[in-house]
């Protein structure tokens, strides 16, 4: 089975990807019920944050050569 993405979690929970992102970072005005629903979806689907992919999106990394 393929790794779960933030879009998969959003679809499973019936929310937007932005809502999932805000719930995971604990930012934004999201109700406690929605945050809990998203976190349950993350656990159920086995979503794992991919720092390498985030670095590619932001075109930066915290590595020192």
**pLDDT of res. 65:** 67
Per the domain annotation, does 64 fall within a domain?
no
Contact 20, 38 (CB under 8 A): yes
Q: How many domains does the chain divide into?
A: 1
**pLDDT of res. 28:** 86
Q: Which of 58, 56, 52, 49 is nearest to 21 (CA)?
A: 49
What CATH number does residue 41 fall under?
1.10.260.40
pLDDT tens-digit readout, 4-59: 999 999 999 999 999 999 999 898 899 999 999 999 999 999 999 887 777 787 77
Q: Which of 41, 50, 44, 53 is nearest to 9 (CA)?
A: 41
What range defines the domain where residue 44 resides? Answer: 6-58
- Kindly indicate the confidence band of residue 1, based on its pLDDT and cuts at 50, 70 and 90: low
Answer yes or no: pTM beyond 0.75. yes
Q: Which residue has the tokens 């809990």?
A: 36
Gap between the Cα atoms of 34 and 46, Å rounded? 18
**pLDDT of res. 60:** 72
Per the domain annotation, does 63 fall within a domain?
no
């Amino acid at each position: 089975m393929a790794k779960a993405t933030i879009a998969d979690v959003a679809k499973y929970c019936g929310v937007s990807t932005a809502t999932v992102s805000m719930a995971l970072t604990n930012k934004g005005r999201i109700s406690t019920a929605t945050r809990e629903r998203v976190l349950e979806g993350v656990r159920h689907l086995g979503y794992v944050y991919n720092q390498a992919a985030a670095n590619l999106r932001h075109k930066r990394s915290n590595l020192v050569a």
